[in-house]
């Protein structure tokens, strides 16, 4: 029984590595509106297709020593790094949503699947936003129905979790309150400063997150944690840089960080630090 659970965990890491490999393709192609399934992966420098045995997560990068087999141009260390990060995240998610061998059943596994889809989109979106200052609609507003339908399917199969929206009402409300709250902050900022603090991309992103997580306590949690994380990174950068507080920094990655933290530990953090809000955790 113990071995079975260890095997299941190992499979979750393997799944994470493979999904990470696919996310690398999404990160490279989505900003350019190219298909993520066609054509097959190829070297951006010489155009040669990547052989199946050179497309194994992490290992291929290591034995090719970070170079293309055909033209020897460098392959970024970000590729294996993203695969490792997603592998680790899938392992943490698996242990949270399928906590022991007795939870190896359909309801727990689909709940894990929904959380894994959510986190995968946030990882892909983070790297696209850092590099291109955009958040693709496929990873934000177009994924709102994916969240609503996913939550409904999980509920139908008897799954679900405190850290995820509980049903279609919770999910739809989460999308509206997520998008609405950040939209209001954006309008307020514009009225006071006459400039855009955040983009519509961030509003659409928080809609997607609300659809997966529900409105309360997820949305206030994400707004507070992402602002704190943004300040921790942004203020030192502003002091070191020459542009002062007007430094341009994408906010999406901080929203993503807060969303991933919420799925992994959010309800527990709320219960520990804001016991008065525990009534929200039904
Ligand atoms: Zn090449």
Under 8 Å between Cβ of 40 and 54: no
Is it the case that residue 66 has pLDDT exceeding 90?
yes
Q: Which domain holds residue 130?
A: 105-282
Does 254 reside within a domain?
Answer: yes
Does 99 reside within a domain?
Answer: no
Give the confidence band of 197 by pLDDT, cuts at 50, 70, 90.
Answer: low
pLDDT, tens digit (0-9, with 9 covering 90-100), for 88-103: 999 999 999 999 999 9
Does 98 reside within a domain?
Answer: no
- Judgement on whether residues 183 and 217 belong to the same structural domain of the protein: yes
Alpha helices (runs of H) in 133-251, residue ranges in sequence order: 144-156, 168-193, 200-213, 218-240
54 Cα: distance to centroid of ligand 1 (angstroms): 12
132 Cα: distance to centroid of ligand 1 (angstroms): 23
Give the confidence band of 188 by pLDDT, cuts at 50, 70, 90.
Answer: confident
220 Cα: distance to centroid of ligand 1 (angstroms): 46
81 Cα: distance to centroid of ligand 1 (angstroms): 20
Is it the case that residue 246 has pLDDT exceeding 70?
no
Note the pTM of the prediction, 2 decimals: 0.93
Residue 74 sits at φ, ψ, to 5 deg, of -70, 140
- Judgement on whether residues 258 and 193 belong to the same structural domain of the protein: yes
18 Cα: distance to centroid of ligand 1 (angstroms): 22
pLDDT, tens digit (0-9, with 9 covering 90-100), for 13-53: 999 999 999 999 999 999 888 899 888 899 989 999 999 99
Does 204 reside within a domain?
Answer: yes
Under 8 Å between Cβ of 107 and 158: yes
pLDDT of residue 243: 63
């Amino acid at each position: 029984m113990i071995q079975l659970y260890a095997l299941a965990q190992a499979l979750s890491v393997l799944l994470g590595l493979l999904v990470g490999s696919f996310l690398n393709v999404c990160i490279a192609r989505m900003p350019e509106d190219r298909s993520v399934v066609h054509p097959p992966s190829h070297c951006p420098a010489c155009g040669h297709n990547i052989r199946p045995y050179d497309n194994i997560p992490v290992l291929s990068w290591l034995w090719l020593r970070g170079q293309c087999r055909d033209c020897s141009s460098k392959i970024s260390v970000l590729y294996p790094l993203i695969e490792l990060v997603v592998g680790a995240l899938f392992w943490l998610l698996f242990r949270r949503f399928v906590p022991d061998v007795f939870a190896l059943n359909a309801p727990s596994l689909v709940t894990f699947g929904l959380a894994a889809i959510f986190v995968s989109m946030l990882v892909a979106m983070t790297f696209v936003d850092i590099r291109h200052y955009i958040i693709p609609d496929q990873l934000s507003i177009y994924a709102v129905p994916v969240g609503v339908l996913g939550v409904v399917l999980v509920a139908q199969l008897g799954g679900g979790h405190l850290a995820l929206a509980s049903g279609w009402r919770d999910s739809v409300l989460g999308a509206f309150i997520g998008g609405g709250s950040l939209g209001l902050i954006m309008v307020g900022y514009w009225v006071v400063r006459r400039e855009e603090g955040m983009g519509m991309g961030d509003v659409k992103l928080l809609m997607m997150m609300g659809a997966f997580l529900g409105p309360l306590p997820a949305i206030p949690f994400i707004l507070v944690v992402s602002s704190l994380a943004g300040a921790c990174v942004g203020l030192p950068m502003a002091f070191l840089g020459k542009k002062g507080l007007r430094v341009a920094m994408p906010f999406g990655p901080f929203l993503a960080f807060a969303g991933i933290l919420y799925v992994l530990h959010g309800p527990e953090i709320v219960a520990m630090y804001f016991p008065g809000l525990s009534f929200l955790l039904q």
